[in-house]
Amino acid sequence: MLVVPLPTFLLDMLFSFNIALSLVILLAVVYVARPLEFGAFPTVILMATLLRLALNVASTRVVLMNGHQGHGAAGKVIEAFGEFVIGGNFAVGLVVFAILTIINFVVVTKGATRVSEVTARFTLDSLPGRQMAIDADLNAGLINPEQARERRQEVREEADFYGSMDGASKFVRGDAIAGILILVVTMVGGFAIGMLQHGLSASVAAKTYIVLAIGDGLVAQIPAILLSIATAIIVTRVSRPTNMGKQVVGQMFAQPKALAVTGAVLIMIGLVPGMPNAAFLLFGAICLGAAWLLNKRRETAVIEAASPKAALASTPGGESAEIGWDDVAAVDVIGLEVGYRLITLVDRNQGGELMGRIKAVRRKLSQDLGFLVPPVHIRDNLDLGPSAYRITLLGVPVGEAELHPDRLLAINPGHVHGSVMGIPTRDPAFGLEALWIEPGTRDHAQTLGFTVVDPATVAATHLSHLLQTHAHELIGHEEVQQLLDRLAQSVPKLVEELVPKRLSLGVVVKVLQNLLAERVPIRNMRSIVETLAERAPQSQDPDTLTAAVRVALGRQIVQDISGFGAELPVITLAPDLEQILLQSLQGATPAGAALEPGLAERLQKSAADATRRQEMAGEPAVLLTSPSLRSWLARFVQQAAPGLRVLAYNEVPDNRQVRLAASLGR
């Protein structure tokens, strides 16, 4: 097309194809659910722009070479646009072309270019915050590593897409400018060629070539406007799992009040004498009717959501049925109670994501802890606040917070560089400062360094944290028996030798509960059972057996604390303080040593300060002490320094080098 002259029938086919291609691109943008589903859009824009410019070159060549033969010499499409669309009047054609150019260049293209620039900038600026949010979800067990890789890939693709759209919008803008210049060149060149080469008069040359040039320009300008509109639509889309039609209809007509007020205004205008009364009254009535229907539908949905899910049972004669054991409610191991405004979060039919998040939390915790975490029983509770939820373990509340289902939680990880408008609160899982922000300010908050999560993620993270903290309360005789049965499939003699010959099932349960209470996973059941079978003849005491199992699991415990590094930073007790504690434990009660209150307070404060310093330095907080003190110290510092892990000397594997980070004295 750029070099070889094309016959007119082929030009007609290509012009028709160009218009059809532009319509297909525009409708594809309208019906796509998310912009990334049309990730090839920047490349498509480039190819469509090049096709249109090449057609401009080919049509201009035909107009200048054969225009003196009449309006049909440049093909049927150009002739139709020159004769039918503008009526053969080049003055009208110039005005129409100017209007289309203003619409395309000044309004659509300029706006799309600006939106592309801003979106690309904010998308790139928000990358660190979004990566941190993915890492936070992965660490909280809300997603698995495969899902994390998919989300990171999606973030990269989105950044590439909007970066490419920033450049693709320049193609559209340049194409609009090129269309104007090509029209001017074709008109001036055709007028000169008609008069100088073909001997046409000025009026005939102007009428012939200017009409052809305008027809050629209109044929190219209409697809250009369609592509400009498609570009503007895709860069102004909000990523939602619905197409644009559903978004627009669902959000524009979500408020019946807006339709009611509009209908009232239209009816008032329609009653003014001299106005087109029929049209305004008709549309006013339509708006009022639509508002009434939407309001009734909303009231029906609220009534259905608030209706009781079960009725009281009664006998056919109307007397109450005799009560039985079925009327005694069983206590749920794990319960989640929600207020009525949070029902949408747990209802899959209304797009609720919390059920899926809870399932992911259970899967992750089961893999990490080493036993199957019981199901979470979810129910609504009208005694709670509308936006409140409560987490219970064995029927006892262990956590409660409030959510704003229509907002996002922006958590301050400690290094934000700015502020954002929102409702002050604290992250219910870890107590960090946070804000409930509007969804539209998410990208801005992430750019400032906030970690932004949705309400379902907040509740799921809170649940995950509480289940990890109370993991020892979730395992009982039934769960331990299932663990032993699974282990017996591979080493039946070992399990048979331990239970019930050497230890009762109750002792094994207590040992596993002790390990989980000290944040030691029980994934390595074979090593645990082997150690118990070996030490059972010497002692039946669960605490003594727990200490022996911890030594056997030392490599796993240290690796969970500090990873694969060869060096382990530790905090130790000053020799005189350790000697005092050892003397206090001699002859002490089972509850532990009896310390002087001032010394106990100073020890707890020193442990908390040392833990805080280690965490600020990005290192694990580990207190290394003698085996006889370890169990008591772990319980003693648990409340003051929950992040401090207490290890015995014999629990550190030989391949780990110990580095002294701090020492606790009197």
Rounded CA separation 47/54 (Å)? 10
List the structure tokens of 658.
């110990």
* DSSP three-state, residue 378: strand
433 shares its domain with 513: no
483 shares its domain with 606: no
418 shares its domain with 467: yes
pLDDT value of position 311 = 41
- Which residues of the chain carry a pLDDT beneath 70? 67-75, 82-90, 139-141, 237-254, 301-322, 326-327, 329, 587-594, 666
544 shares its domain with 642: no
List the structure tokens of 575.
């020799």
Q: Measuring CA to CA, how many Å separate 312 from each of 130, 139, 308, 321, 330?
A: 49, 44, 10, 10, 18
pLDDT value of position 362 = 92
Rounded CA separation 634/643 (Å)? 11
Bond before 500 cis per omega within 30 degrees: yes
Rounded CA separation 64/208 (Å)? 11
- Residue 257 within any structural domain of the chain: yes
* DSSP three-state, residue 548: helix
For 27-76, the pLDDT digits (tens) are 888 877 777 777 788 888 888 888 888 888 888 887 777 766 665 566 67
Return the residue matching tokens 């319509």: 23
- Residue 466 within any structural domain of the chain: yes
Residue 584, domain CATH: 3.40.50.12790
Residue 337, domain CATH: 3.40.30.60
For 404-427, the pLDDT digits (tens) are 999 999 999 888 888 899 999 999
128 shares its domain with 204: yes
Vertex 660: Cα angle to 654 and 663 (nearest 5): 130
Phi-psi region of 75 (alpha: psi -120 to 50; beta: other; left: phi over 0): left
List the structure tokens of 250.
């669902």
DSSP calls for 149-183:
HHHHHHHHHHHHHHHHHHHHHHHHHHHHHHHHHHH
224 shares its domain with 140: yes
Tell me the pTM. Answer: 0.56
How far from chain centre, in Å, is Cα 430? 20
**Residue finishing a domain among 428, 446, 472:** 472
244 shares its domain with 268: no
pLDDT value of position 256 = 78
pLDDT value of position 86 = 62
244 shares its domain with 257: no
351 shares its domain with 420: yes
411 shares its domain with 384: yes
- Residue 448 within any structural domain of the chain: yes
545 shares its domain with 588: no
pLDDT value of position 530 = 94
- Residue 558 within any structural domain of the chain: no
52 shares its domain with 179: yes
- Residue 434 within any structural domain of the chain: yes
Burial of 349 (0-12, 13-18, 19+ CB in 10 A): exposed
Q: What's the structural domain count of the chain? A: 5
Rounded CA separation 362/371 (Å)? 10
- Residue 308 within any structural domain of the chain: no
Q: Measuring CA to CA, how many Å separate 428 from each of 403, 431, 432, 601?
A: 10, 6, 8, 28
Vertex 212: Cα angle to 209 and 216 (nearest 5): 135
- Residue 522 within any structural domain of the chain: yes
- Residue 307 within any structural domain of the chain: no
**Residue finishing a domain among 528, 552, 576:** 552
CB 220 within 8 A of CB 52: yes
pLDDT value of position 313 = 44
**Residue finishing a domain among 529, 552, 575:** 552
User: DSSP strand E in 485-575: where?
Assistant: 567-573
In terms of residue numbers, what domain contains 666? 564-666
